[in-house]
Structure 1
């Protein structure tokens, strides 16, 4: 029997990651003054375009990889000192050993570079902790912090601690071998930018990390390392990730499928899959929460990928911010305080004498106003105008409500690049869980998760012989009365045959979500923070992330039959 931890107040430590941060080692809730900073967005603003690059993996020999020990935790420490109350994390079955793998990979232009990944190993007397073990390949959420290191489980000094600790407890401590790349450009990587949402590069990075981890496991077993000798790769591979990592997980699954590499099941969570439509929505005025955070990260990474995003960063960014480089050794709050990034303002408010922008309808998201300012906004108005002009001339069919796919022939370079990295049209053949929350202010649920579900459902309707097994879960049932035509659960293809108690799992996930939502509102009220602000600041990075992690653990825990 799995015993879940009691759901006390959800912890929200300010971080520049899109994933929840938790209070490590004390278990006490943390509610910082600026709740909005918890839910940093996967901004989809500055993606370049150009020729496809050759992303050949550069793993060549055992000597190309290295490993070092970071930490270890026994079950008692995991259960009492990880501060995961409110996350429905089950009691640990296994002790865990945390290693860091250094491996070669490629950058956005195919150039050789290096990166690091966390390798989490279960151990213990239980049959769940030794012998043939499944591997979880996990992709983390967006962060502006150069020092983000997924091997720093339970280390509150590292910005990755919250997400890494949650994944360690929910998977490594349950018997999974976990491989979690930090991505090129972070931690000890020599790359001076990050190829943010470059689908092919990020999938290659994930594959290189997995190959290197398997190389390390085999090498350490040959050396009779006691941390490895009782473990074997069972051949079962699960792929998941949250926010940016949701997009990365789906892109990785697509690449593995194209290469005929077996994947047991995947769970992309709250990812920006419909990049082209999402970009059009943002530029039309529906600015998501946190959209100003990562535009420089995107611009530098994707300029390296495609070469024609800009001639100079001053082509895109206003003067105050044109020289900001990400990832940064400064936290997001420090970047704002130093006037290196605006807190929220993406665009100029009410620009005069602009007939193109005057054609746009009023924004439909209720929080869009915080994405605009008279001064100290990020994106230059002439850059936005050029983008919008093309979006009006060559509309995305999802935005125009005439279909579900990207524009057939966009002319703007940014829109071309968004389309090139848009995952609409991919229909996964392996069992899949798509999870999110319908009120997500950071990665819009209907635009991304629902559009993917509709395309997959349409593919099955056109070709019933397709091997499709997709479960779609909306963890937020609080808006059911306002969305009578939208089900919280969709079972597509063979999903109804999955061997898990889906009704019980969904009820538990949605109940925990509501309880944590109420606690966030109450904690905000104690500090005089309006409920709407408290929810906006915690919805994506805290509430949905923990709910979807619970759902993913239960989804992966079933026995999948070969297709």
Structure 2
């Protein structure tokens, strides 16, 4: 299923602030040759083969509900109506059946709860297409950050749902090409009774396996559903992908499967905060991120529920009552900003005094000024000073400088929040499946160099499984190459690498071209408007630069997502 990748001007794959062999053939051969020794005797376990560990104890709470069916033509039309055709690699060849599932799982304190999700199956519409029936691979999809509580990836019957475009894209790109898609909504979302949402924690790996197991149960039930029968069942191929938060969760799910001795076929995490401690240290040092006033409260709320009483003193007084429990929510995000419940982009106090350790940090620059304010800032300055002090006392192996060969995570911390980051840091994970990392080096929301690039450096020195890293952004390639930064890193086998590398080059060029066009057009419009208002050339140039940078801040992270999805598709094709 080789595909070419058209330009992707859209990004619905992230929500920015805009997946038993008890008796093998080998053991059968041994048994045949030693039959007189009693291999088949129930009382003789010399040649017994252990059952693989069950990946989950999850059960379906309700019968799966079919929310929507599409023919291939209807799916193509729905994608076009949503304006997403450029983000779909090839026209669907299969129709799809969308199932909504509700299943058991556990929260971060081990409490029993439920979670919902989507199971999207290909159907052959009577066209006898072998790629739309029989045993099909499973694509386990981990969604990106969303502050919207009613997010539901099974809601392909509801274009108004916040998950609709993402669901449509993964349905068209995977189920429409013959894969079974299982896409959990995560506990805390949709109809889950959990009153918080686990966020960037290793436990999300097991929660994904609960969704995977429940999805398989639903597939079995759908086969007997007279209203929407299917000729599809799951093969032994399992692929995992996700973007942003979903990139981290995809890797956590792969780790959870590895820990149970059942690794996935191949995995492609994209733009995730894998080296969580280094990422947090970078932010607290002043390398602010766009969207941080949403992401970080979600993170601390999750950890506060997992570790208990973790956030006292973390937030500035103005937001200490509202920020910790605000997300996810169905309230309008812009409305929350205007109501003063959360600052728009400002994380830190601009010019703190009385804190030598903070005063020694680099001052805010015009490019990161959006993350600072003297009046409306999210984090308590005293907390930030304590955090930076802990960084210096217990340094990280990636930030501020990479320490070869493995950029080790700190061995300890005196700060509860930072201890939680250390506990959930994925950089030391040694995968048992082939991996494709992906991202963009100028990502303003999930810093590339301390996450994807650092993970690749670690794996290149330590990993036994093959992997590759694709940096989608070629626009600053020359400058980065001077610092030994490569747009493509690989240890893949030559036959696999040849195809992935060729696809990567084409996808990188398209992303870079579209990024350049977007930013150039934005600059030109702002420049022209300024001139029309009587501004000088210098003032118009400044207006254009500001507009272009603002556009990059708001669009870049989401814009990378569909390109990484295209790369993942090519990568997975090598292992089908």
TM-score, length of structure 1 as denominator length? 0.85
Q: Deviations over 1:499-525 (max 9, x none)?
A: 762243112211220232134225534
Question: What does residue 76 of structure 1 align with?
Answer: 73
Q: 1:39-188 alignment to 2 at 5 Å?
A: 59=57, 61=59, 64-82=61-79, 83-87=83-87, 89-124=89-124, 125=127, 126-153=129-156, 155-188=158-191
- What CA distance in whole angstroms lies between the structure 2 residues aligned with 1:288 and 1:512? 25
SS in 1 for 2:98: strand
- State the superposition RMSD in angstroms: 2.3
Residue 513 of structure 2 aligns with which residue?
515
Once residues 347 and 516 of structure 2 are traced to their aligned partners in structure 1, the CA distance between those partners, rounded to angstroms, is 30
**Alpha-carbon distance change, 328 to 119 in structure 1, aligned in 2, over 3 angstroms:** same
Q: CA-to-partner distance for each residue in 1:523-559, whole Å, 9 max, x for gaps? A: 5347636222212211101x21011011011111123
Q: Which residue of 2 aligns with 1:254?
A: 255
Give the direction of change, closer, same or farther, for the CA distance of 1:402–1:433 in structure 2 (3 Å limit).
Answer: closer
Name the CA distance, whole Å, in 2 between partners of 1:196 and 1:383: 21
- State the 1:189 CA deviation: 0.5
- Asked whether the equivalents of residues 408 and 428 of structure 2 are also in contact (C-alpha less than 8 Å), the reply is yes
Asked if the contact 1:65/1:212 (under 8 Å) is kept, the reply is no
Corresponding position of 1:397: 397
**TM (normalized to structure 2)?**
0.83
Q: Which has the higher contact order (CA 8 A, sep 6+)?
A: 1
CA distance in structure 1 between the partners assigned to 2:110 and 2:385 by the alignment = 32
What's the counterpart of residue 48 of structure 1? none
CA distance in 2, matches of 1:19, 1:177: 23
Residues 138 and 179, structure 2, Cα contact 8 Å, conserved in 1: yes
> After the TM superposition, which residues 477-492 of structure 1 pair with which residues of structure 2 at under 5 Å, given as runs?
477-484=474-481, 485-492=484-491
CA distance change for structure 1 residues 332 and 264 in 2, over 3 Å: closer, same or farther? same
Deviations 1:329-386 (A, max 9, x none): 11322221222111100111101121121222346x8632111001111111111111
Q: Give the CA deviation at 1:471.
A: 1.1
Q: Structure 1 residues 525 and 72, CA, compared in 2 at 3 Å: closer, same or farther?
A: farther
Partner in structure 1 of residue 273 of structure 2: 272
Distance 1:456 1:6 in 2: 31
Equivalence map 1:302-317=2 (5 Å): 302-311=303-312, 315-317=314-316
8 Å Cα contact 2:284/2:388 also seen in 1? yes
Please give the secondary structure, in 1, of the residue aligned with 2:553. helix
Task: Tell me the distance in 2 between the aligned counterparts of 1:57 and 1:237.
Answer: 13
Residue among 199, 202, 208 paired with 2:204: 202
1:227 offset after TM fit, Å? 3.8
Q: 1:218 aligns with which of 217, 220, 223?
A: 220
Cα deviation, residue 450, structure 1:
1.0
Larger Rg: 2
Q: Which deviations, in whole Å up to 9, do the C-alpha atoms of 1:393-421 show, x marking residues without a partner?
A: 21112124251112222211111110110
- Structure 1, unaligned runs of 5 or more: 21-36, 39-55, 461-465
Does 1:559 find its partner at 2:575?
yes
What secondary structure, in the 3-state scheme, does the structure 2 residue paired with 1:136 have?
A: strand
- Alpha-carbon shift at residue 320 of structure 1 (Å): 3.8
| C-alpha separation in 2, matches of 1:342 and 1:397 | 31
Kept after mapping to 2: 8 A contact 1:184/1:194: yes
User: What secondary structure sits across from 1:77 in the alignment?
Assistant: helix
Say which is worse superposed, 109-118 or 526-535, in terms of deviation: 526-535
What are the within-5 Å matches in structure 2 for residues 339-418 of structure 1? 339-362=340-363, 367-401=367-401, 403=403, 404-418=407-421
Contact preservation (8 Å) 1:123, 1:227: no
The aligned length equals 509
Corresponding residue number in structure 1 for 2:336: 335
Runs of 4+ in 1 over 4 A off after TM superposition: 1-6
